[in-house]
Amino acid sequence: MKLEELKNSPTSIWLDDLSRAKITGSDSHSLPSRIATSAVVGVTTNPSIFSSAISSGSEYSKDIKLMTGSSVDDVIEKLTTDDVRAACDLLYPIYKSSNGVDGRVSIEVDPTLAHDTQATINAGQKLWKIIDRANVMIKVPATIEGLPAITALLAAGISVNVTLIFSIKRYGQVIDAFMKGVQECSDPSKIHSVASFFISRIDSSIDAQLKEIGSPDALSLLGKAAIANAHLAYQLFEEKFSSPSWKTLEAKGAHKQRPLWASTGVKDPSYPDTHYVVELIAPNTVNTMPQSTLDALIDHGVLRGDTVTGNYQEAVQVLKGLSDVNVSLDNVTTELEIDGVKKFAQAWKDLQKNVEAALRS
């Protein structure tokens, strides 16, 4: 795929990966190279990414040794915020040229705080202050307890990436929390936000149920639920951000909270490896993808223009089909949120154990 085709896509391409090797490396997979040749205009991170990077990357050994005597959490905070700050600096020209829309780097608050509103607010404010870059976004899980934290951080002038959104109902609550925060912010023109709507995990869970049912009607729905769910989320985005209440905020300088398609690496090898990219192209959206998906997109991806707008009735039929074969999307999305928080918390605990071992060595 040609670079210009990627750049001209209405969906911004962000890389769901970060490590010190990517920041400082000189190979084709380095962040500077990806920015220059692959139309990457943003970066997202999560506890699993940091756990993998720090646990296996020798580039961190020197810093860890220099912090002997420090607490494990202090070491993790320094390593992760140093990396995010460096990535923010690399992407700053894009941040400036896009008027703050892209050129963003996201870092998540400690995921073990996902059900503690005030602790999440405190952690978000601390990360914002430590990194001290205008183009950083603080990631907050879209738990019930996370919603008021999202509002509070935005009201304080902090840009937020809302993560772990699986259901359309919860997405609506996220948008409401965002609009409330924007309304309470003294200068909404300075804040930006994205809402990270998770994709592939929904198909993984629902497909397993459809295969177990095994009927022709059930099997005909394989691989369709996640895209349909995302399409209807985008319909809600269009509705919410064309409302009179939003128009009032927009007149004060507020920016739309863009949907961000996350978890877009294909887990079922029987599906095209660019499936969760090419079927989710629409204006005012972001797709954050792992390295392997980005490589596949560059190698053989085919963009067909906007593949979301206008497909809502078909999406409604997919969800009706799921209900007809007794598959509950609501139950699946509820379970995925709980599981997502647990997985990120476990990745953080694994990272703590690895750093503790490195400090002792």
Domains in the chain, start-ordered, CATH in brackets?
Answer: 3-356 (3.20.20.70)
Mean pLDDT value across residues 253-259? 98
pLDDT digits (tens, 9 = 90+) for 168-195: 999 999 999 999 999 999 999 999 999 9
Q: What is the pLDDT of residue 26?
A: 67
Q: What is the pLDDT of residue 57?
A: 72
Mean pLDDT value across residues 210-233? 98
Q: What is the pLDDT of residue 334?
A: 97
Residue (of 281, 259, 286, 264) closest to 40 by Cα position: 286
Mean pLDDT value across residues 260-289? 97
* Active site (catalytic) residues: 139
Three-class SS of residue 163? strand
Position 141 confidence tier, pLDDT thresholds 50, 70, 90: very high
Of 357 and 78, the one with more pLDDT: 78
pTM here?
A: 0.96
276-305 as b/e, with b when 16 or more CB fall inside 10 Å?
bbbbbbbebbbbbbbeebbbbbbeebebee
Structure tokens at 127: 């990360």
Mean pLDDT value across residues 68-96? 96
- DSSP annotation of 141 reads E
Structure tokens at 352: 């703590």
Mean pLDDT value across residues 89-95? 97
Does 110 have pLDDT greater than 80?
yes
Q: What is the pLDDT of residue 25?
A: 82
